Amino acid sequence: MPQKLIDQSSLGHWVAALIAEHKVYGVQAKADRFAFDALTEADDLRLDHDVTILPPKKYFHPPQEILLQFDREAMTFESVFHAEPFILLGVHPYDMAAISQLDKVFSMDHRDRHYLARREAATIVVCDVQTASPEVFAGCMGHATMEGQSGHDMLLTLLDDGRYLVDPVSAKGEALMGPLAHAPEADQAALQARKRVWDRNRRQLQKNKLKMKPSELPGLLAGSYDHPVWEERAELCYSCGSCNLVCPTCYCFDLRDELNWDLRTGRRLREWDGCMLRGFAAVAGGHNFRARRADRYRHRYFRKGKYTWEAYGEIACVGCGRCISACTANIANPVEVFNRLLEER
Ligand code: SF4
Ligand code: SF4
């Protein structure tokens, strides 16, 4: 599909036209942070954001959703779907990598129709990172750019001359082009300029430096089950679950039924859960498989660096750095933990 070159004002007109015709969510400034939200003005879109508070997974796997409505007396239930078509603007490559992991997880074994319906309804426009966040290490995890990655529909890259290279990579992406289809085609010089942006981002998105390849993590963790780091750091942990909730690759959830006042009809809810919360591994009979904070703390790292690798061939950390800044106790930095395990193995 032809790649195009556009200036900033054409980008603004294009975004305004998208808003006029579609449901669009995009990155916007919220006080001194950034967040994905419904976009109603093209000028509100910020593609220079460093990182959003919550990852875009919230549009596919929402914090709370109704899965079905039921009637206990009539013994009936009806699935509830919210899958209106929408456009997601400004997703960073590391968050796209996380969405691709969720695509795998939610289509393995038991296909999750709710997640997959929303995924199908989405058109995702990725934007190469323009501002590195203070904690990012996507460059160490192989997710600084979209090179070799897929799942998105269009890629926008701000070149050093101030123009955007627009790269539609799917039929959905091509359908979004509209007036951009008449823009000048990107020449070899523009493609080289994009490659320079990618090379720079691979270097710059390493504010924390992992001293090993991500593929070495499963082996490192296998020999670190009894390392003192788990007990030491867990001493400071509040079990607040923030590191889970902001993570783009965390997908655990809880299910509960909520009855109406008639005690007959109700709904089944799915809500985010997190392995750092005390009740996460509690089961009937009062037993808790990870009642100790140190066990929960260790589990999170094993889950990220070993268990998901064994289950579906992915390291469940894309290096966004959100858990680092979300942790009030300042103990959630995966790079600090993994580097220490490496140095003391
Ligand atoms: S573990 Fe932390 S740095 Fe890694 S993807 Fe999750 S939130 Fe981002
Ligand atoms: S954010 Fe920090 S304090 Fe809260 S559960 Fe995670 S590691 Fe513990």
User: What does pLDDT average to over the chain?
Assistant: 97
Q: Is the CB of 334 under 6 A from ligand 1?
A: yes
> Are 9 and 157 in a shared domain?
yes
Cα 249 to middle of ligand 2, angstroms: 16
Query: Can you tell me the distance from the alpha carbon of 96 to that of 111, in angstroms, rounded to the nearest whole number?
Result: 20
Q: Are residues 254 and 172 in the same domain?
A: no
Residue ending a domain, choose from 204, 230, 256: 204
Per-residue confidence at 109, pLDDT binned at 50, 70, 90?
confident
Write down the pLDDT at residue 82: 80
The predicted-structure confidence for 217-265, as pLDDT tens digits, reads as follows: 999 999 999 999 999 999 999 999 999 999 999 999 999 999 999 999 9
Closest approach atom of ligand 1 to CA 321: 3
Token pair 């929960």 is found at: 296
Residue 324 is predicted with a pLDDT of 98
Looking at the structure of the chain, the number of domains it has is: 2
Task: Give the mean pLDDT of 47-58.
Answer: 98
Are 281 and 325 members of one domain? yes
With a cut of 90, say whether residue 1 has pLDDT above it.
no
Percent with pLDDT over 90 in the chain: 97
Alpha carbon of 45 to ligand 1 centroid (Å): 24
Which atom of ligand 1 is least distant from the CA of 246? 7
pLDDT tens-digit series, residues 128-187: 999 999 999 999 999 999 999 999 999 999 999 999 999 999 999 999 999 999 999 999
Cα-Cα-Cα-Cα torsion 275, 278, 279, 281, nearest 10 degrees, comes to: 50
Q: How far apart are CA 230 and CA 281, in angstroms?
A: 18
pLDDT at 263: 95
One domain, residues 218 and 146: no
Q: Confidence band (pLDDT; 50, 70, 90) for 272?
A: very high
Closest residue to atom 1 of ligand 2, CA basis: 327
* Domain termination residue (choose one: 182, 204, 226): 204
CA-nearest residue, atom 5 of ligand 1: 317
pLDDT at 81: 86
The confidence band for 268, taking pLDDT boundaries of 50, 70 and 90, is very high
Q: Is the pLDDT of residue 100 over 90?
A: yes
Query: Which domain does 286 fall in, by range?
Result: 214-343
Residue ranges of alpha helices (H) inside 132-266 are 138-141, 171-176, 188-204, 217-222, 229-234, 242-245
pTM here is 0.96
Q: Which domain-ending residue is among 149, 171, 204?
A: 204
Q: Are residues 198 and 218 in the same domain?
A: no
- Contact call for residues 193 and 160 (beta carbons, < 8 A): yes
| Burial class, 228, CB count within 10 angstroms (exposed 0-12 / middle 13-18 / buried 19+) | exposed
In a domain, 209, yes or no: no
pLDDT tier for residue 83 given thresholds of 50, 70 and 90:
confident
**Residue of 320 and 2 predicted with greater confidence:** 320
Residues 33 and 161 in one domain: yes
**Is there an atom of ligand 1 within 6 Å of 317 CB?**
yes
Kindly list the protein residues whose Cβ atom lies closer than 6 A to any atom of ligand 2.
237-243, 276, 326-327, 329, 331-332
Cβ atoms of residues 273 and 254 within 8 Å: yes
Mean pLDDT of 192-213: 98
On whether both 26 and 73 belong to a single domain, the answer is: yes
**31 domain residue, yes or no:** yes
